[in-house]
Structure 1
């Protein structure tokens, strides 16, 4: 495994705060969270771009009901400029979409790695926040995208398969990328407090079986629950942003609260009492 996958760059770029939204398995609402979190952060006054980092199986365009003529693939191949590929999304943020079904991007080659880093380096000065909507699992493409982020948000649901795969993904991030902390979002919770309880249980397992390079176990930071809400399914089926169309529903309010926590602790800490983004 290449060194770039083993540890996050200390300071790879300057400019935007880079957040990777990832998951152990598919179908847990990762892209839904990425898009609506972007809308919530844009509403808080930030310049936000979501980069579809699921290079082989992209579906951010489906969630946002966008039909781009130009994608990240065109930028990589020199058929279009970066400016031509950036699209305005509903919700006040920008997106850079990847083409779906691109087999050549399903594995990490030196060319893909360099092209991706060049694009990210160009984006950084333009935005306050860049959200990387990664693929699910622990493939080399997913781990590479995550390695470029200063903060990682793992999305999971209360289902046992989701939690098992989330544990596996966090273990890899702790052991190979030397992540000291990972932020958790538990989606589709049935009752208030369920997500925090799940995060605590995962932490206990990690404490027993996984240590980072420092000899300490990786720390999970619970940033929020998103309750099971029929408005979510309706928005997904209609390809609409929840934060735009039903901003007062329970799931939308929960995502707005996640955005507030991230804003205060990670994105703009100096504006909120000078709190630091590092974790003791």
Structure 2
């Protein structure tokens, strides 16, 4: 069994191709738990959370794929300092095989990177929809966890990506603009996707407990104005805070994973705690498949 697909993968050089196993029949169900990591507003650290959470889950023994689902403004490659020869754009256009686009990242997890600045992927065409579905259907059986690093906001591409996930993790910061946009995104997920709950992590928290307090305040607004398909209020579940930490900026500027470079700093310890919470609450298989948290 190759390294990319073994239960306890070793870490080949960053950027090396992750060979695929034998082709998976189209009828094979998706085994991975698919988690969409999204945000209402850009610039809140969503991709930082995706990459470092992937590293933390890999360290715990999970086979993890991060799929850059921000098809128009992808930057996962920048965060990981990767220079892929093949991107999702090449796969969509038939210039390359999907297996050639899956590469190893620092931290041992696999990534599928999207090309940046692709205007044709800024809206959800039938072609983009079908290609994206094929990618998920093909790759999901080969991993334990698939993290979808979506774009920000409520565009049709973002909402389609989120609709494929079993669970949604929304990232926000304490700033009013971030929280306002997070509320708007959560409202759309409740009304359009009929989701019953969304999980939330607060990045750049100033003090311990800030995230839980912020989540509680947003829950009060949801209780008043957002009703789910069952008639119950949308549940916003707090899963962790990542404290404001200068080490984060240093790692991002150096294009390094915080979990590898400064694993003992407060933000890295918080990501490790988040991974533990994700493992215990979000990785339990559900018979309903993607979107199962809508019940």
2:223 to 197, 207, 212: 207
1:165 to 181, 202, 206: 181
Aligned-residue offset at 1:264: 1.0
Structural RMSD (CA): 1.5
Q: Is the 8 A contact 1:263 1:269 kept in 2?
A: no
Secondary structure of the 1:32 match is helix
Q: Deviations over 1:210-239 (max 9, x none)?
A: 011111111011000000000000000000
Question: Which consecutive residues of structure 2, in runs of 5 or more, have no partner in the other structure?
Answer: 1-27, 287-291
Q: Deviations over 1:5-32 (max 9, x none)?
A: xxxxxxx942100000000000000000
Segments of 5+ residues of structure 1 without an aligned counterpart are: 1-11, 271-276
State the TM-score, normalizing by the size of structure 1: 0.92
Q: 1:80 to 1:38 in 2, by over 3 A?
A: same
Number of aligned residues:
263
Work out the CA distance in 2 between the residues paired with 1:15 and 1:269. Answer: 8
For residues 108-140 of structure 1, the C-alpha deviation after alignment (integer angstroms, 9 at most, x for no partner) is 000000000000000011000000000000000
Structure 2 counterparts to residues 242-261 of structure 1, below 5 A: 242-261=258-277
Within a 5 Å distance, the mapping from 1:111-190 to structure 2 comes to 111-190=127-206
Q: TM-score, normalised by structure 2?
A: 0.87
Residue 102 in structure 1 maps to residue 113 in structure 2: no
Which structure's residues are more often helix, by fraction?
Answer: 1
Residue 44 of structure 2 corresponds to 28
1:211, 1:62 → 2: CA distance?
Answer: 39
In 1, distance between residues paired with 2:214 and 2:284?
28
Q: Which residue of 1 aligns with 2:13?
A: none
Give 1:82 deviation, angstroms: 1.1
Shift of residue 268 of structure 1? 4.6
Match of 1:7 in 2: none
Show CA shifts across 1:181-232 (max 9, x none). 0000000001000000000000000000001111111101100000000000
Shift of 1:105: 0.3
